[in-house]
Amino acid sequence: MKTQAVSDAVARLYDTYPFPPEPFLDQAPPGYNWRWYWPTVHSFCTGALPKGGAVRVLDAGCGTGVSTEYISHLNPEAEVLGIDLSAKAIATATERCRRSGATNVGFRQLSIYDVDQVEGEFQWINCVGVIHHMPDPLKGLQALATKLAPGGFIHLFVYADIGRREISLIQRAIALVQGSQRGDYRDGVQVGRQIFATLPEGNRLKQRERDRWALENHRDECFADMYVHPQEIDYTLDSLFDLVDASGLEFVGFSNPQVWQLDRLLGADPALLERAQQLSQLDQYRLVELLDPEITHFEWFLARPPYPRVSWENDSDLLAAIPTRNPCMSGWPSQNIFDHNYQITALDQTEFEVLKACNGQRPTLEGERDQDSAADQPMATVADLLTQCGVSLEKVRQLHQRQLILLQGPQ
């Protein structure tokens, strides 16, 4: 299929089944996602909080606006634009944000290939689950790269080949049964459900759907997105980095770095782990990919240089930094919380005291509206924490690495 024909087919799918199919809310959506909050995005990519919050954000391939709505509410000082191929998705996204009171957001029905029609540059681009559905993902990524401001970041998400093998087999089976009716997405959903219902118990494909995907795939929109999509390119780690290298942007890191730690797979054998850790960083990633076939996607940040990197290895710089508790957590105040990745985390007493000391601190970003006079009051530095909480500099570094605290240079 030619590029335009593929794009038209993708638009028809999402006009038929707008995705994601989340309900409207009459208030800001609950919960948090640190990848949709500019201070934590900037901190992850650079090591420090940003100087300003009044950034331009592009949600490229926004679908029904679930991510756009969150980004808008979590970043009230930002100017947010969502674009998508599907007219039905854009209409849904517009109504979603109207209902929840998101006022700093706009939408346009537009292909990523045509993003040059949008004026200006963006400090932050969100493009999750999109370019792998484009006939030419590299062309799409390069188009987005032209709209990324120097020092800006783009978050991407594409499917992983090894973890989606069973999905790929069912996709091909549905297409084969559909024959000339391929492209009739409602028929495709019906055929797919019939196949799963008919396959014998114990069948690997049926079991995989039941164990991993059935909870979300009871909704036809999700089933269609997974199994009857007209265009999908799944990536290996090597083809992913080929894409990154050709993008003209710099790889910052995977946004789920814990998945790419060898110790979670080989930690039971310290000698073997040490040997594996002698590999290059890319080969360590390759080893994780081979040893964990449950990885179904890659998610990562790219940057347009130059952008600052703060390691906080210099003790004097760290002592002068202003710490604040990462707001992307649930269950606070408690020593048992859900952290920024919604993982249950038990804080020891010192960690809890540090987070309490940081909790009232909220460094004001340039461009933000002052909420109260507290912004004018001096804030505690890391040096103050050492005195107040008896914490070590190494512990502060660990809390920062775990994204439990965020750091800002002296104001």
Q: What is the pLDDT of residues 196-253, one digit of tens each?
A: 999 999 999 999 999 999 999 999 999 999 999 999 999 999 999 999 999 999 999 9
- Whole-angstrom Cα distance, residue 17 to residue 14? 5
Given the candidates 1.10.20.10, 3.30.70.1140, 3.40.50.150, 3.40.50.300, the CATH classification of the domain at 3-161+234-303 is: 3.40.50.150
Q: Is the pTM above the cut of 0.85? A: yes
Q: In the predicted model, is pLDDT for residue 374 greater than 50?
A: no
For the chain, what are the domain ranges? 3-161+234-303, 169-220, 315-408
SS3 letters for 333-381? CCCEEECCCCCEEECCHHHHHHHHHHHCCCCCCECCCCCCHHHHCCCCC
Cβ neighbour number for residue 237 with a 10 Å cutoff: 21
Q: Given a cut of 70, is residue 399 above it in pLDDT?
A: yes
pLDDT tens sequence across 145-188: 999 999 999 999 999 999 999 999 999 999 999 999 999 999 99
SS3 state at 390: coil
What letter represents residue 15's amino acid? D
Token digits of residue 75 = 């970043």
Peptide bond into 306 cis (omega under 30): yes
Which pLDDT score is estimated for 266?
Answer: 98
How many C-beta atoms surround the C-beta of residue 382 within 10 A?
A: 24
Question: Alpha helices, DSSP H only, in 199-252?
Answer: 204-208, 214-217, 220-227, 237-247
pLDDT digits (tens, 9 = 90+) for 247-300: 999 999 999 999 999 999 999 999 999 999 999 999 999 999 999 999 999 999
Calpha distance 258→36 (Å, rounded): 19
Query: How far is Cα 375 from Cα 362, in angstroms, rounded to an integer?
Result: 7
pLDDT for position 409: 85
Q: In whole angstroms, what is the distance from residue 194 CA to residue 204 CA?
A: 16
Distance, C-alpha 11 to centroid of its chain = 23
pLDDT tops 80 at residue 346: yes
Please report how the helices 237-247 and 137-145 are oriented relative to each other, as an axis angle in degrees rounded to 10.
40
The Cα 49–Cα 45 span in angstroms is: 10
pLDDT score for 368: 55
Q: Look at residue 360 and tell me whether its pLDDT is greater than 80.
A: no
**Contacts (Cβ under 8 Å, ≥6 apart) of 113:** 3, 7, 134, 139, 140, 143
pLDDT over 60 (residue 366): no
